[in-house]
């Protein structure tokens, strides 16, 4: 199952590029259909896109915040080498690594590490790569990783 592919498939006249950043493809979809901010079609599509993005994370990394395998996948994706064999060490690495979660779900995508939550926030906001903070579909793992991108001072 590929939730992002399924989301974009609901717009058959739009050719989805799975190797591009999901948010870039969403904005391209909006341009393709001529949707601007505030347009009801865009708002509906954005809600569905955010759900698909969350489900994509869950599909790739799982939802169990106690799964060593999930944390090891995250460690590998952010370039930890060697990948630890303990949940505690994996958690430490990921907790102390500031990366954009949208970048984590992009297949083969480069994951940039930021020195601070403020830098991550600036990048995430400028690129429009923001995961929904409150999402009914977010599993325990994703909830544990979410940062306060719009108010980074809350993570200090």
The partner residues of 114 in beta bridges, in order of sequence, read 98
Burial of 56 (0-12, 13-18, 19+ CB in 10 A): buried
Domain count, the chain: 1
End-to-end CA distance of the chain: 37
Structure tokens at 71: 């944390």
For residue 82, the enclosing domain spans 3-155
Q: Tokens 């869950």 — which residue?
A: 58
Task: Tell me how far the alpha carbon of residue 59 is from its chain's centroid.
Answer: 12
Q: How many CA atoms lie less than 13 Å away from 111 in the CB half-sphere?
A: 20
Task: Return per-residue pLDDT of the chain as tens, 156 residues.
Answer: 799 999 999 999 999 999 898 999 999 999 999 999 999 999 999 999 999 999 999 999 999 999 999 999 999 999 999 999 999 999 999 988 999 888 998 877 679 999 998 899 899 889 888 877 666 667 788 887 876 565 656 665
State whether residue 33 is helix, strand or coil.
Answer: helix
């Amino acid at each position: 199952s590929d939730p992002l592919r399924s989301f974009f498939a609901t717009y058959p006249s739009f050719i989805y590029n799975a190797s591009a950043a999901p948010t870039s493809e969403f904005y391209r979809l909006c341009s393709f259909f001529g949707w601007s901010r505030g347009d009801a079609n865009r708002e509906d599509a954005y809600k569905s896109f955010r759900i698909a993005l969350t489900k994509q994370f869950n599909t790739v990394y799982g939802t169990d915040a106690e799964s060593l395998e999930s944390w090891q996948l995250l460690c590998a994706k952010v370039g930890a080498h060697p990948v630890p064999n303990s949940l505690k060490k994996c958690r430490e690495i990921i907790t102390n690594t500031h990366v954009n979660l949208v970048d984590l779900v992009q297949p083969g995508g480069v994951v940039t590490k930021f020195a601070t939550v403020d830098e991550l926030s600036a990048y995430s906001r400028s690129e429009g790569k923001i995961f929904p903070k409150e999402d009914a579909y977010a599993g325990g793992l994703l909830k544990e990783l979410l940062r306060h991108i719009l108010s980074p001072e809350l993570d200090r």
